[in-house]
Amino acid sequence: MINRALLRTKIVQILYSYYKSDSKSFPVAEKELFHSIEKTYDLYYHLLQLSIEITRFASDRIETKRNKLRPTEEDLNPNTRFIDNSFIAQLSKNIQFNEFLTANKLSWVNDSEIIKVLYEQILASEFYKEYMQAPAADYAADKDIWRKIYKKIMLQSEDLDDSIQDQNIYWTDDIEMVVSFIIKTIKRFDASKGDEQALLPMFKDEEDADFARKLLRNVLTKGDDLRQMIDVNTKNWELDRIAFMDIVIMEVALAELMDFPTIPVNVTLNEYIEIAKTYSTDKSGTFINGVLDNIVGQLRKDNKLIKVVMFSDNKK
């Protein structure tokens, strides 16, 4: 689940904090990186859990209306398509899902207000009304409504974003990526797999974990050399005039360029330029692209940039 785009971002964030900290320890930095990754994986389950909590809230609201002193005909005979959703029923019984929630004590019990807010937003959406008014619903439609809820409601909700950030500092900025993983999970759900439907693992394989560990270590051990390369290629700029985040991003990019021969140059450059656009200044993407392009040219000229084409390897 944790892909390399997210790993690169987390490594940049960890290194930025490491350099700004008075206490510098390689083991602590590595431990912090993998703790951050684990917290992102927790968020994957926590946001999946939100679908069940919203469904439970909707069910409780129906029961409350049924038990009113003077219930209407609609109160007594409500449309229960949403709360009877077959995808949610399957997820709620999922063995892997429930074991993880129990082991990691994940719950929305202290953040119930956001459940009401999101449910009201769902009720007001056109796609919800279409789903509820359709002549019939099947498993595919039940999955699709939740794919839309995550994409069009949760991903756009500032209230949810605020709630997530308040709950855990490690979840800041992770929601967009995690929601994309959840949408992928929903698409993969198969009714025939029942409560044994597999959810996404933390890492696709151990190679991705090794990539993160090696990249972090290489930046930490070669930081002085990497900064010297940056300094030489920013002649008209004093390093203290360059945004510190830009320096960190370029260090990580250079370490990846030089130490991972199977990752194409353009993949590395594009990944870190995108990180710069999000986490640094408006002009950082263009600036970093220019500096790294100059360094790549020099490394190639000096035969210090070796890239190997691996036709059977799709890793980025």
pLDDT tens digits, residue range 148-174? Answer: 999 999 999 999 999 999 999 999 889
On whether the CB atoms of residues 293 and 309 are closer than 8 A, the answer is: no
What average pLDDT does range 52-67 have in this prediction? 95
Fold held by 222-301: N-utilizing Substance Protein B Homolog; Chain A (1.10.940)
> Helix axis angle, 26-66 relative to 175-188, nearest 10°?
60
The Cα–Cα gap between 148 and 129 comes to 12
User: Residue 217 has which token pair?
Assistant: 């270590």
Residues 6+ apart with CB under 8 A from 85: 55, 142, 145, 146
User: Residue 180 has which token pair?
Assistant: 């994309």
Residues 6+ apart with CB under 8 A from 18: 24, 29, 220
- As a whole-number percent, the residues of the chain with pLDDT over 70 amount to 97
80-113 in b/e form (b: 16+ CB < 10 A) is: ebbbebbbbebbbebeebeebbeeeebebeebee
Per-residue pLDDT tens for 66-112?
998 898 988 898 999 999 999 999 999 999 999 999 999 999 999 88
Residue 315's Cβ-count burial label (10 Å; 0-12, 13-18, 19+) is middle
pLDDT of residue 255: 97
Look at residue 144 and tell me whether its pLDDT is greater than 80: yes
DSSP 234: -
The Cα–Cα gap between 233 and 238 comes to 11
If you average pLDDT over every residue of the chain, what do you get?
93
Look at residue 211 and tell me whether its pLDDT is greater than 90: yes
Where in the chain do CATH 1.10.940.10 domains reside? 222-301
Look at residue 192 and tell me whether its pLDDT is greater than 80: yes
pLDDT of residue 316: 55
On whether the CB atoms of residues 75 and 68 are closer than 8 A, the answer is: yes
Q: In 3-state terms, what secondary structure has residue 250?
A: helix
pLDDT of residue 85: 98
What average pLDDT does range 37-49 have in this prediction? 97
Look at residue 231 and tell me whether its pLDDT is greater than 80: yes
The conformational region for residue 173 under phi > 0 = left, psi -120 to 50 = alpha, else beta, is left
